[in-house]
Amino acid sequence: MQKPLIILLLTIVSLNCVAKELSGHVVDSLRQPIPYASVFLQNNPQIGTITDDNGFFVLPDYVQDDHLVITSIGYEKFTLSTNKISGTKPIRIVLKEQPLMLNTVVVSAKGSKRQQRKLLKQLLADIYKQMQIDFPDNARNYRIVSDVSVYNEDKVVAFDEMVGNIVELPYLKNARKQDSLQIKADFTRYYINQNTADGLRNFDQDLLKRKEKRQLQKIDFEKSEPIHRMLWALDIKKLFGDIYKETGNWSISERDALSQLLTYTKTFTLPGIVSATMKLHLSVDAHNHVQRLSQSVTLWANIPFGYKLSDAQVAALNLVLINDGAGNFDKYRLKTANGKVERNVFFTQQDGQVVVSEKNWAANVHGADKNGQSIAFNQKASCQVLSVETKNVRPYSKKALATKAPRTQIELSGVR
């Protein structure tokens, strides 16, 4: 009787496993697939994956009383209770478009330009004043799931995901007079392309200059917190406070009757050599509470005689290109470069304060030498806020911050 009983138990277990598997197809409003979208469970973010080139995904396991979350840069976050998912058939999920940068529609106000400038100046001052109320100098503790991907064309070079907490400490300003941050990971997982990993292990340290060696020695490759700190680091009060008085660079826009969009533009140009433009879109409601900040920086450069990469830089470039050992550069002289970095921060109100609900980031940089040989570097990142504490928040101790979080290497199929 024991053998039939064991077989029966195994059958039941396997049936349960199949029943818990969730597959789906993520598309946009035109029913076009959305590749590389993040798919995970809100309360169990370690259970996650990424959509393939055709927008399909499979979660090997999911639990009830949780929420399926799907995010992708340029689309609104999608959330669905797992209690509403039934059966084993794949589900179709349509994401709504949400462009990285908002289109600016200038409002033609009545009155002279001088009067318009005066009204704009007052509005910017009122927004900054409201920020002092909405972002008090009190600590905030964010529970987050954050992921960063580096890729070249369609090949993922590296991926790092962290689940943990970020504590903002506005009363402990750093050297740049920005909010200080503490970041504490509970666990991390990562992927690195095998060719890149082999290249890093065999990297010739003698190619590095003494200063570069010292900097490299300071990096703890077993901790990923610094990577995610870069994604989070934005002090909106500091950023807005530095530029809101530059009235001539601002314009007023409007999306609907309940909110306004303000746009800041600043351009630096050296004809024929370099051109850089920074645009910032700030969405505020009727009471001047910040709803969203979108920022982009575009850069174009023409280097007259080209910039010759050092042997160490060429070796590092070949690692990022992950071209399977074919077509590695022996030398490279950068002649032209252009790139764009875009980021969004979404805000919501809680406990009489304005807090972050989501951040995302995308960077694309391209270069070419005098022979037209091109190189590319691409990065995208997203940070989802799971919960926020705004009361009685205490900083982490040095001992707690020094403790390394469990770190797991995953296969490419587990990257989201």
Q: How far apart are CA 25 and CA 298, in angstroms?
A: 33
Residue the block writes with tokens 């909106």: 236
Q: How far apart are CA 283 and CA 73, in angstroms?
A: 18
Q: What tokens appear for 287 in the block?
A: 């009471």
Check residue 208 and give its pLDDT. 78
Check residue 221 and give its pLDDT. 65
Q: How far apart are CA 368 and CA 175, in angstroms?
A: 37
What residue type is 316 in one-letter code? Answer: A
Residue 246, phi then psi, degrees to nearest 5: -85, 65
Residue 275, helix vs strand vs coil: strand
Residue in 364, 317, 350, 333 with CA at minimum distance from that of residue 203 = 317
Could you give the residue ranges of the DSSP H alpha helices within 176-257?
Answer: 194-201, 210-217, 225-232, 236-243
Residue 308 has a CB neighbour count (10 Å cut-off) of 13
pLDDT tens, the chain, 416 aa long: 444 444 444 443 343 333 367 888 999 888 888 887 888 888 877 677 778 878 888 887 677 778 888 887 777 889 988 888 876 778 899 998 875 544 444 444 445 677 778 888 999 999 999 999 999 988 999 999 999 988 876 678 889 999 999 999 887 776 667 678 899 999 999 888 877 777 777 777 777 777 777 776 666 666 778 888 888 888 899 899 999 999 999 998 765 667 788 999 999 888 778 899 999 999 999 889 999 999 999 999 988 888 888 888 888 887 777 554 445 788 888 899 999 999 999 999 998 899 999 999 899 888 888 888 888 878 899 999 999 999 999 999 999 988 888 988 888 877 76
309 within 8 A of 206, measured Cβ to Cβ: no
Contacts of 257 (CB under 8 A, 6+ apart): none
Q: How far apart are CA 131 and CA 219, in angstroms?
A: 36
Residue 92, phi then psi, degrees to nearest 5: -105, 135
Q: How far apart are CA 157 and CA 319, in angstroms?
A: 9
Q: How far apart are CA 278 and CA 268, in angstroms?
A: 9
Strand order in the sheet with 56-59: 56-59, 22-27, 91-94
Residue in 293, 257, 309 with CA at minimum distance from that of residue 134 = 293
- Provide the residue count of the chain: 416
194 within 8 A of 324, measured Cβ to Cβ: no
